[in-house]
Structure 1
């Protein structure tokens, strides 16, 4: 807290001595003594106008415009409010934007001689003393508006500094506290004009439960702005400050007393000549309940409705980004007190349709208890468009046993308020094909495949493997197709072909490609794909730990012709003074050759339209060319990722986000439909399709079927394609590569971290629960 300087001028000493003498004599000698001192005290007011700055309180900023303000988060339109964050619910406005009735109402109520005194209302102090100590009536404060402003600032600073001792001294009922306020008030009147001080008071005062400042009060009680407050509204607000808890008119039980207090203010306004007799008579007759239009108080993401998960993501991005402060505490303070206007990337249409699709696919109270998690990104920008989760965001979920509520945003990384990630099955496999082409190989090259691979066949600089055998099968425990090309291996989603590709490429090449297209693990502190728990052969078939948002962003790279971006949540952040704060950048760049991406897109489309493809349930309406890849991680999770070129990329995951090991997605009814075996094509792909069709229709997205034209250098003649729609099986040439061929050194001596065992278990962790990945089902 502040303290008085040791040295004071003679003028300052005189004011101090006179005031102290007055108060002392009042206590000791009663009314007669105080009357003798009255001329001197009036003289002190005049002297105060010439005081030097020696009465400044060190370390306290009394700038009447520098107050904590709430921050507001908006959707991408810059208008739709998502949420507010504040330590004190306040919007600072200049005096010109506060109506004249409001200014007059608070002066009439709190300090009718405000415009004539010099910071301390001597007559008010005398009246308060006589009433409180001599007549023994109700306690009277006698504080001027300037003194009240000083007190509020001192209390606010103590709270911001988390200093309970300073807070006590700023509110204690003692003469020393009153004297301190008087001295500072005199100095305030020297430095600031009356209107500036009135502006500061109207912005700092508490006008109800959790309501600070006149602008917030106007919005809260009347759904209007401070500049539009009329006489009866202004009188209602001005009455609250005497007791913000009991006079808050939004509480029905308070309304009779709040109305009486309002009428008192109206009477004072009439007595001061601020309103006419007719205005007084008219307004005092209006029931207070008929004047109210109470708006809901919102703080944080809890009341953000369907936008709450996105709100949580934005909040965590601010708290984690150095652009908003050097420490997390600094960033939190800026968010709650900086008066920020935060324009996000949230697409209202995408968000609404994602949530609607999630709930219609698996209702929140569905007997299955399964979660569906969806995320969408705009290709080439990194802009996160929205999330769809069949749950209600609840920051206090720990206090509730409602399984439909959660404080975890399953769509994002752990550091951003999510979990530790999910295995995604075959939705990973496009990464393998990109790595294959980057190595200069043809996607139509025939490979020898097997159901058993020694892990050291996948060796590279950062993975050695062992002599242990990794057993690999395709969907439903089927064996292998031998030979098979990488093209058909992705189209049919065959695990055995992915494994064969991995022995030729080595795991490091695939890992590097994954990083290029935007992949990272979801677990905080273990984001690098080279983490030993991830860098194992089962990675090739999606045994990883990744968030749906990261995978949506990976598919956005495919949708933007190889341009990769970092996901972003905000496009513009502005301080209350209009200055902009730099926001985290998307860092978009050409990560993969466009010819490779076009060839991949061609393959993904063939997987949707061909009879032997694994993604037929994802076909979009209207003849729109469809690019999607389904995935199944054993009996735990099913997925689908896909995109509309240059427009939107979306990823869908279905399963038990909390306990997949004890709650498999098999032999179960979901939303009334029973399946013994669920895969990506039976639930994730239809959800993806429904959303993408709805979004394309809502946004009137043009159909661009030129995307996905393969580059001839990645299309060798070793494969003879079959016309689309034909049921004739494709033919193969005799050009093949021996099983097990590898360009990596094999040593068979060192195990890197959690080496894959015969069942493909790699210790993948999901939302804090260990999941053993069954590599026999990661196909569709």
Structure 2
């Protein structure tokens, strides 16, 4: 940081020159100013050379109608506030929305001759000049409200530019600064009316600590009322603060006595000017200031958004990375903090709160395992993200480094959106295989010969070649000749391999992309990325975020209509300008008959006919679609939907995969864990609570199989899922797939389960 410039000593010549400038400004007003700032005077006046008498000074805009103000983020109802964002906490309001007594209080306190001068008050200036620069007494202001407005604008611009030198010059106690202010103030009074300038001042002045600017924010902060409703005692309290915001801010215990004293001074001044009666004065003056306060929190950003904080962070990142909102991230951040935006999001308050509570209920934040649980929910056919559930407290401060219950990482989303590396979805991937199978014109009831060893060369496609043998097993070993439908019901790995052998790995990768799948690791999102495009992907060894998997299930729920997840529905600025928000780009991605047949298979086979998601069934006979998964001994998962809601749940150590075998989770010990033991109950708790709270009607019309893809038979395999976590090993040039966590590297051999 550069050094602050030293103040120059006053020579006799400079004093006389500056005094002349003061007098000419005060006496001559706008007429003589024109002479003062003529080229000839500028050439002779070294001080005036640095002053540009215009409302555009050094790129600074003094427009009283265009002050930076805070942005507000709302839930989907457009009224529930999630968070505020600001550099300066300011809400700009027109003068008509500021109470008369508030206007009078600030005029009485700061500039009682405001309506009589032309921007510079001759009496105040002369008094201040001789007291400060001739008598060498205490520094006197002598500034009019117009001059103070100018000073505040210059300081504000310096803060925006992160320019401490300019901010110093905007408030330094020098004659040069005063001259500069006065020259601009006179010009302002030519262009704006007194009421416009008063409005500007009331919206820009600092009224307390914590970046509190503008009378509306002050009214909310101290009294929880709007500026239009401020009474005499409240107005006097606020008006008193601007002289010394740090010392007179009444929320500080050590300030309260002085704040009351200053308030009463303002009341005296209001009485002198005839703004209030003696009775009003006396009643207000005897009222203890502390009894009038109703202090509200003014903290900003996602840090203070409570259970909505993870969603808030996700929305913020969508704004900061979208070039619709500015060419650079710096511009977009400025828009967010100064543009006075109204941001309406897709967050359903009930969905988000229930998801957060479900996460905490399932795996407490302080659980000894340290496991994370991440929940993501989407409205099918719209792309609208309803909410997230994370068993952590959002915290972007250093406290999160030493407290494992706190984090700023949203484990429900992709790495580029503030998430981690994702979870391996295991058997929850298998409906994608069924979609690819039908896209090749095949029946889900066609019987297949299965094996525990596959020549991966048979999986090759579109120029992608594999070699070697993939040794794959089901839980409990063995193999069974069965249909793809039965393979989904029992979650058999061998059946997935047999399907892939017939249609090729590319067919499955293409189907995955069509229904909205991509990898969660930044820079490796494409399903064809070499880190993921390996035979074991068909049993879920890829890295995926819960939000992406929820979107996959949402595509199935919406009759094959795939949408890009969105979090913002509307964004406007203070002028009413509408910004183009990211589109969901909803489109028919797969054949509706294939989507419904897949839904049928999930409901009839996995939930109702002995599959491993039987306990996911929602109450009231509501047709339920869900699939569980277990990836080796590291992740437990469940994805599913009803026509109106799609949700995905993942449980495990999101940062460094570790075994959950022989672990006690939330007080329950198991030698072996499966998705059906923990992720499935969490999925059901969220879904049941949400549909009950939201009053979502039962719609059992969906999930009708197509004879084209069932071979004319809708008989499902009835049996008990045996638990399909098994060990699979892929040998040869395809090698084993490697999963890199944020804290280390583990080898993934491709094991999935129920």
What do the CA deviations read for 1:143-168 (whole angstroms, capped 9, x no partner)? 11111111111122222223333223
Which residue pairs with 2:178 in the alignment?
178
In structure 2, the residue matched to 1:703 is 698
CA pair 407-397 structure 1, distance change in 2 beyond 3 A: farther
> Are the aligned partners of 2:546 and 2:649 in contact in 1 as well (CA < 8 Å)?
yes
Contact 1:208–1:247 (Cα < 8 Å) also in 2:
yes
Q: 1:525 to 1:214 in 2, by over 3 A?
A: same
Q: Which residue of 2 aligns with 1:682?
A: 677
Q: Does 1:716 align with 2:711?
A: yes
2:251 is paired with a residue of what secondary structure? coil
2:16 is aligned to 25
C-alpha separation in 1, matches of 2:366 and 2:662: 19
Change beyond 3 A, Cα 1:601–1:48: farther
Q: Distance in 2 between matches of 1:713 and 1:305?
A: 50
Match of 2:566 in 1: 568
Partner of 2:3: none
User: Structure 1's 388 and 437: CA in aligned 2 closer, same or farther, altered over 3 A?
Assistant: same
Verify the 8 A CA contact 1:632 1:638 in the aligned structure 2: yes
For 2:659, the equivalent position in structure 1 comes to: 664
Question: 1:328-347 to 2 correspondence within 5 Å?
Answer: 328-347=329-348
The answer to whether the 8 A contact 1:346-1:569 is kept is yes
Match of 2:64 in 1: 64
Q: Relative to 1, partners in 2 of residues 1:583 and 1:37: Cα closer, same or farther, differing over 3 Å?
A: closer
Number of the residue aligned with 2:727: none
CA RMSD after TM alignment: 2.4
Q: Which residue of 1 aligns with 2:494?
A: 496
Q: Deviations over 1:563-619 (max 9, x none)?
A: 100000011101111111110001111111111111111110123345541211211
SS of the aligned residue for 1:266 comes to helix
Q: Which residue of 1 aligns with 2:268?
A: 267
Secondary structure at 2:265 match in 1: helix
Q: 1:316 to 1:198 in 2, by over 3 A?
A: same
> CA offsets, 1:119-151, max 9 Å, x none?
111211122233334555432111111111111
Q: Write the distance in 2 (CA, Å) between the matches of 1:381 and 1:720.
A: 30
> What's 2:617 paired with?
619
Which residue does the alignment assign to 1:90? 90
Question: 1-side partners of 2:523 and 2:399: how far apart?
Answer: 24
Could you say what secondary structure the match of 1:510 adopts? Answer: helix
What is the rounded CA distance, in whole Å, between the counterparts of 1:384 and 1:727 in structure 2?
A: 34
Q: Is 1:652 the equivalent of 2:649?
A: yes
Match of 1:293 in 2: 294
Q: Which moved more, 1:370-379 or 1:600-609?
A: 600-609
CA distance in 1, matches of 2:14, 2:192: 27
C-alpha contact 2:393 2:406 (8 A) present in aligned 1 = yes
Select which of 502, 512, 515 maps to 1:514.
512
1:240 and 2:235 correspond: no
CA distance in 2, matches of 1:346, 1:698: 15
Query: Which residue of 2 is the match for residue 418 of structure 1?
Result: 419
The Cα of 1:774 is off from its aligned counterpart by 3.8
Q: 1:211 to 1:526 in 2, by over 3 A?
A: same
- Tell me if 1:473 matches 2:473: yes
Which whole-Å CA distance do the structure 2 matches of 1:614 and 1:413 have between them? 28
Would the alpha carbon gap of residues 201 and 260 (structure 1) be closer, same or farther in structure 2, given more than 3 Å must change?
A: same
**Relative to 1, partners in 2 of residues 1:22 and 1:108: Cα closer, same or farther, differing over 3 Å?**
farther
* Structure 2 portions without partners, runs of 5+: 1-10, 39-51, 723-730
CA distance in 2, matches of 1:513, 1:39: 81
CA drift of 1:766 comes to: 4.1
Alpha-carbon separation, structure 2, partners of 1:471 and 1:41: 92
The 5 A counterparts of 1:112-511 are: 112-209=112-209, 210-397=211-398, 400-466=401-467, 468-475=468-475, 477-481=476-480, 483-511=481-509
State how far apart, in whole Å, the 1-side matches of 2:379 and 2:21 are.
76
Q: Give the aligned partner of residue 779 of structure 1.
A: 753
Q: 1:47 aligns with which of 28, 31, 45?
A: 31
**In 1: Cα distance, 2:22 partner to 2:561 partner:** 80
| In 2: Cα distance, 1:216 partner to 1:545 partner | 45
- Judging changes above 3 Å, is the alpha-carbon distance between structure 1 residues 39 and 130 closer, same or farther for their aligned structure 2 residues? closer
Unaligned runs of 5+ in 1: 1-19, 28-33, 730-747
- For 1:41 and 1:665, locate their aligned partners in 2 and report how far apart those are by CA, in whole Å: 80
Report if the CA contact (8 A) 1:452-1:471 is conserved: yes
Counterpart of 1:529 in structure 2 is 527
> Partners in 2 of 1:26 and 1:263 — Cα distance?
40
Structure 1 CA distance for aligned equivalents of residues 22 and 337 of structure 2: 47
- 1:736 is matched with none
**Structure 2 CA distance for aligned equivalents of residues 274 and 110 of structure 1:** 14
Per-residue Cα deviation, 1:183-235 (whole angstroms, up to 9, x for no partner):
11111111111111111111111111120111110111110111111111111
Q: Please tell me whether the aligned partners of residues 30 and 186 of structure 2 are also in contact (alpha carbons under 8 angstroms).
A: no
Task: State how far apart, in whole Å, the 2-side matches of 1:96 and 1:713 are.
Answer: 69
Task: Report the CA distance between 1:723 and its aligned residue.
Answer: 8.0
Please give the secondary structure, in 2, of the residue aligned with 1:677: coil
Cα distance between partner residues in 2 of 1:286 and 1:325: 50
Closer, same or farther in 2 for the Cα pair 1:214/1:24, shift >3 Å?
A: same
Per the TM alignment, residue 41 of structure 1 is displaced from its structure 2 partner at its CA by 6.1
Q: Secondary structure of 2:462's partner?
A: coil
Seen in structure 2, the aligned counterparts of structure 1 residues 41 and 519 have a Cα distance that, compared at 3 Å, is closer
Pick closer, same or farther for the CA change 1:399–1:722 going to 2, 3 Å. Answer: closer
Give, in whole Å, the separation in 1 of the partners of 2:747 and 2:123: 80
TM-score (norm 1): 0.89
Q: Distance in 2 between matches of 1:463 and 1:665?
A: 35
Give the secondary-structure state (helix, strand or coil) at the position aligned to 1:551: helix
Using a 3 Å threshold, how does the CA distance of structure 1 residues 48 and 83 change in structure 2: closer, same or farther?
Answer: farther
Question: CA separation in 2, counterparts of 1:495 and 1:673?
Answer: 28
Q: Structure 1 residues 199, 446: closer, same or farther in 2, change over 3 A?
A: same
- Aligned partner of residue 188 in structure 1, secondary structure: helix
**Cα distance in 2 between the residues matched to 1:128 and 1:720:** 94
- Partner Cα distance (1:23, 1:178) in 2: 14
Match of 1:756 in 2: 735
* Alpha-carbon contact 2:607-2:625 (below 8 Å) kept: no
> CA deviation digits over 1:604-641, x for unaligned, max 9?
01233455412112111121111111011001101000
Of 601, 604, 627, the match for 1:603: 601
